[in-house]
Amino acid sequence: MTVTQPPPHTTESTEAERIAADLRRLLPAWMRAQRWFAGKDRTLVEAEPVLVDVLRPGEPALVHTVVRTGPHDWYQLLVGVRAELPGHLAAAEIGPGTGSPGGRVLYDATADPELMDRLIELLGAERSDGVVEFHRTPGADIPAHLPARLLGAEQSNTSIAFGDRMIFKVLRHLVPGPSPELELLGALRRDGNVPSAAPLGWLRTAPGALGDEFTLGILQEFVPSRGDGWALAVEEAEACLTGECDTVSPLAGFTEESRALGRATAEVHAALAGRLGTKTLTAAGAGQLADVLGLRLDAALAEVPALLPFERRLRALYRDLAEVAGRGIDVQRVHGDLHLGQVLRAEHGWVLIDFEGEPGRPPEERRRPQPALRDVAAMLRSFDYAAHHALAEVLGAPPGEQPPRDPRGIRLARRASAWAVHNRRAFCTGYAEAGGADPRVRPVLLRAFEADKAVYEALYEARNRPEWVAIPLAAVRRLATWQRPVGQGPGPEHSGRPSKTSGSPQDEWDE
């Protein structure tokens, strides 16, 4: 899709033009330092404002901007403009502006409570007379003047909490088309039986503003919680590694929470299937699914040479997936990027959040029905990550910097792996208890999806944190080197619970 730059749409066109000129000058350096910018591995030579809309003129001003950094890369910024930047906003500075007699400063407006309150007022009023449209969910209460605070945990987007009532997610890397997250949150809201962060409103570009429709932000109910699953799991894993578990079994910490999380995940899958439907994957569809995994492997192999020894066996896993899935499995809409950081431990149980799908995947792939096991596999990988992140905390070094023959490190690494296995099993048990098919009875599919996720993780770590790439590489090695008994093909996969007699898929799946 080609987007040509439209003229700035604002009641103060001259001001918009000045701001656009300032952003062209300032953004190439500033954006590369932002966590949500996906192009850190390349030199950014251009950041072209293709949409500039002054949402609030005056002092301070609030300006909505979409910038293009490549043929198919659009990013959203909410820019504040002040004559002088107060100290509490210094870290949000983009840079000095030009063209004003007294001088001015441009900054990231998501850090400014005053301007974020103005944004919420526009959303509550359903402003629709500009190139940015504000929409309220029917019947939703959107109060203004709640204290706003910027949340710092996200990597790909930016979220602002408003008291303990609402949270607004600013989507940074924009993709055209309907929002998968709005679709899935709407389905859960209509179902009414699954706790979720209900959508209150959203922002999108007006028809024709950028050629296609872009969802820009989503306002949801705030979910009070004890914390996200990642922080809680890592804390419990550290306690178990250091012998401080509050359980009889030294490795049982967090397993009851993992079991409850499995139940919550199965309930979300059931609600999405009930509201949005399911279908049976055809042999052709199964082949296409395996082809997608193969293409992801191709991309990773080009950048992560350490994956090359496992290429042949990984491709065999994907062929097995195509054969088994081609016999007929159900597919449905799923979360798409499920991990421990995407769940909150609320007072009455776990709540899944952030349904936009895996960053970097094309929008049509995010919305495509998938086997529910894909979410399960992603969560199982997250337990492995939590265990080894806890190990790194205890040893005081990331995996790539840990002494390879240190006896204490070896002993604790075994405990970390055992903690992960305990919690993976508990998650699958809970998933089956809530009515989902026990994931362990489909070892071929589960291993293929886990391997795909580990390959994705290896590529991410190689690009961003090479000292952590040992975690996904160890998982790839384990998954790729598992051997079926001689003469046994993929075979029919089971339904129901794993057998408690010989040949249990669970034994093959854990290690």
Helix, strand, or coil (residue 105): strand
Checking if the pLDDT of 434 tops 90, the result is yes
Residue 477: predicted pLDDT: 96
Checking if the pLDDT of 160 tops 70, the result is yes
0.85 surpassed by pTM: yes
pLDDT band at 42 (very low <50, low <70, confident <90, very high): low
pLDDT band at 11 (very low <50, low <70, confident <90, very high): very low
Please calculate the CA angle 275-281-283 and round it to the nearest 5 degrees: 170
Helix (H) or strand (E) holding 174: strand 173-174
pLDDT band at 196 (very low <50, low <70, confident <90, very high): confident
Q: Which residues pair with 343 in a beta bridge?
A: 352
Checking if the pLDDT of 498 tops 50, the result is no
Of the CA atoms within 13 Å of residue 462, those in its CB half-sphere come to 17
Average pLDDT estimate for 399-420: 90
DSSP 165: T
Question: What whole-number distance in Å separates Cα of residue 19 and Cα of residue 377?
Answer: 46
Higher-pLDDT residue of 103 and 423 is 423
Residue 32: predicted pLDDT: 87
Q: Are 330 and 269 in contact (CB under 8 A)?
A: no
- For the ranges 5-9, 267-271, 274-278, which has the lowest average pLDDT? 5-9
pLDDT band at 488 (very low <50, low <70, confident <90, very high): very low
Average pLDDT estimate for 152-160: 82
Decide: residue 289, CB within 10 A, 0-12 exposed, 13-18 middle, 19+ buried.
buried
